[in-house]
Structure 1
Amino acid sequence: MTDTMYSDDFLGRLEASLRAALPRWDLSPESDVKLLTISENATFRARDAASGRELVLRVHRPGYHSRAEIASELAWLGALGGEGVVATLTPVPLADGTLIADLDDGGVTRHAVAFELVAGKEPAEGEDLPRWFRELGAINARLHAHAKGWKRPDGFVRKRWDYDAMLGEVLLWGDWRAGLGLDGDGRAVLEDVAAVLKRKLAAYGTGEDRFGLVHADMRVANLLVDGDTLSVIDFDDCGFSWYLYDFAAAISFTEHEPYVPALQAAWIEGYRTVAPLTDEECAILPVFIMLRRMLLTAWVASHAETPTAQAMGEAYTQGTVALGRAFLETHGRAAS
């Protein structure tokens, strides 16, 4: 991605191409269209004043997810919502019954999908957050149980979030070694951390009981609280990974905060109300937290033009090194 993706010209062009496609979802081209977020994708909210209909529209960036991958995400999302596993977004078909629209963005084809609007707001930091993480643990347990038993449709394909994809040879979100402000000493620390993670993850393994289809990005920004209901949105990064990685993703960008142990305890408590979680599994959670932190350090560097990455900056990389030092004190060094 480049800085032009975040220019007024780019956003205006993208909104114009989306507005032209609104009738395909039975929305007026004169609908009020508002940009909600832009990161990997651009997400808009469209409201048709004449009909009162409102939709959330996600325009995918090219070169990341294929049409088949997007269709697979929507298939799982539809199954989860239809079976009442989790409160989430409902995909909305176009007039022809399909779920994915193609938009022309200056000769580049972009895929777009629509969802029904879900009420709620992001849970705030504070004394209520452990309550919602307890609920999130139960939701995760139900998601994982569903993933283990769900018969995936033919052609189902999603990315694999394993060590190689995050820190090894594939690097879906970039190289942590390019971390903003990372110096030689910090790189040496994180090289050691990466080696320890590789060893521990190999020992933990990828058996069917511990590795499968997960949300993979269930951070607070992707949660909505409405009364007593916790909804989970944005399955854009769902894929195959360790089930316990879902907790690490849930504390994205806050791994260093002093309240994380309380969130972890609440998540474990909630998970165990639905499914067993062994002491061995609980003990390896710090490994997944460190793995996610390393991955996000790479993401911040490779997406430096995004508002989220700009808010993190070099301080996030420095925090990763500090967490890495503490991790090595507890979990040993690569040669040990």
Structure 2
Amino acid sequence: MYTSTLLARLEERLSASLGEWHLPTDTHIELLTTSENATFLTRCPRTGRRHVLRVHRPDYHSREEIESELAWTAALRADGRITTPAPLPTTGQSPVVTFDLDGQRFHAVAFEHLPGDAPTMNETLPDWFEKLGALTATLHDHSRRWAPPAGFVRKRWHLESMIGPEALWGDWRRAPGLSPADERAIEQAVEQIHRAIDTYEARAGRYGLIHADLRLANLLVEGRELAVIDFDDCGFCWYAFDFAAAISFFELDPLIPTLREAWIRGYRRVGDFDAEDVAALDTFIMIRRIMLSAWLATHADSQAAQALEEDFIAGTATLARAYLSTARDAARA
């Protein structure tokens, strides 16, 4: 949906709204990226200070959902164990600025800009994944202890909303380049996912408020510190799903077993992660990959989708066949 015309109009509207975030009217705005949302970088010409403006895609999150996201990040910042950017206050009571443009309603939020870069796929990544495991366990510990305020509302990630025909990210069956054979393999994987989750969720304490999108693009490395950004997909889901989100788009990389071990090691330094949680990781990785395949079907014009290889859906089917093989081996054992 983010045509060059719409992006120019959004930039125009944000420029007119700078005062609502107490930002100077001569602040420079430039597009940073488009994915689910359109994100802009601002810079004050006099001080050089930078901020990030996030414009939400219409009809995905309500204003109350966005305010709830920011309530959790504020609580995490107050807890002092997680580094994540602070939202900027506005001239109103809410940190969310709402405006209408060309017949559509948009919600926008401004954040402080944190230094750092996303981790990269190289020999240092296992060390960062051990840190990420500990950070994720810290997030989960906070989630379990925190009492959300009245009116708190975030999406619930369950199998129907993740990989069902009416899933929030779309129907994976409409993914570009899906062959009949690959569709059968993924369908069989979906059936196995349902069986696995029916068994896994029988015990309480495995489902709660999570980040749900801790992929490399949403992490910032500065020195030896690791920060988390973009809680836009945070919601109620299985805690172990956060590992699957962390390896988004490179689930078939040979480094994954090493990253998994490092993440589990880091997690266990802070919280419990038992053998059943470990065994469930393959199921959550499969769920996430199917979700990403569905996302491609509905976001084909986004920068993120266009950067992916053309055979992404074939890779999803390859992962599905490996997942089914592992499940059969486990059943025989």
SS in 2 for 1:224: strand
Counterpart of 1:28 in structure 2 is 24
1:275 corresponds to which of 256, 271, 278: 271
Greater shift, 161-170 or 72-81, is seen at: 161-170
Quote the offset at 1:202 in angstroms.
1.4
Note the 1:115-126 alignment, pairs <5 A.
Answer: 115-126=111-122
Task: Please report how far the alpha carbon of residue 207 of structure 1 lies from its aligned counterpart in structure 2 after TM superposition.
Answer: 4.9
Equivalent pair of 2:175/2:296 in contact (CA under 8 Å): yes
Encode CA deviations 1:75-121: one digit per residue, 9 max, x unaligned. 00000011113111111111234201012322322111111111100
**Contact 2:218–2:230 at 8 Å: present in 1 too?**
yes
Q: CA deviation at 1:332?
A: 2.8
Cα displacement string for residues 57-87 of structure 1 (whole angstroms, at most 9, x for unaligned residues): 1111110000110000000000001111311
- TM-score, normalised with respect to structure 1: 0.95
Alignment correspondent of 2:185? 189
2:269 maps to 1:264 = no
1:232 maps to 2:228: yes
Secondary structure (helix, strand or coil) at the match of 1:332 reads helix
- 1:149 aligned partner: 145
Contact 2:165/2:171 (CA < 8 Å) preserved in 1?
Answer: no
- Whole-Å Cα distance in 1 between the matches of residues 57 and 25 of structure 2? 22
Residue 82 (1) aligns with residue 89 (2): no
Consecutive aligned runs of 4 or more in structure 1 exceeding 3 Å deviation: none
The residue identity in structure 2 corresponding to 1:241 is C
Corresponding letter in the other structure for 1:63: D
Structure 2 unaligned residues grouped into runs of 5+: none
Aligned mates of 1:123, 1:35 — CA distance in 2 = 22
> Which residue in the other structure is 1:315 paired with?
311
Give 1:107's aligned residue.
Answer: 103
Note if 1:174 corresponds to 2:170: yes
Residue 169 of structure 1, CA deviation: 4.8
Q: Secondary structure at the match of 1:241?
A: strand
- Paired with 1:238 and 1:298, the residues of 2 have a C-alpha distance of 18
- Comparing 97-106 and 181-190, the one that deviates more: 97-106
- In the superposition, the TM-score normalised over structure 2's length comes to 0.96
Amino acid at match of 1:245: F
Equivalent of 1:40 in 27, 31, 36: 36
SS at match of 2:307: helix
In structure 2, C-alpha distance between the alignment counterparts of 1:27 and 1:142, rounded to whole Å: 33
| 1:292 aligned residue (272, 288, 294) | 288
Q: Tell me the percent identity.
A: 48
Shift of 1:19: 0.6
Determine if contact 1:210/1:242 at 8 Å carries over to the other structure. yes
Superposition CA RMSD, Å: 1.6
Would the aligned equivalents of 1:182 and 1:317 in 2 still touch at CA under 8 Å?
A: yes
Contact 2:200 2:276 in 1 (8 A): no
1:212 to 205, 208, 214: 208
**8 Å Cα contact 2:171-2:294 kept in structure 1:** yes
- 1:326 pairs with 2:322: yes
Q: Matches of residues 41-80 of structure 1 in structure 2 within 5 Å?
A: 41-80=37-76
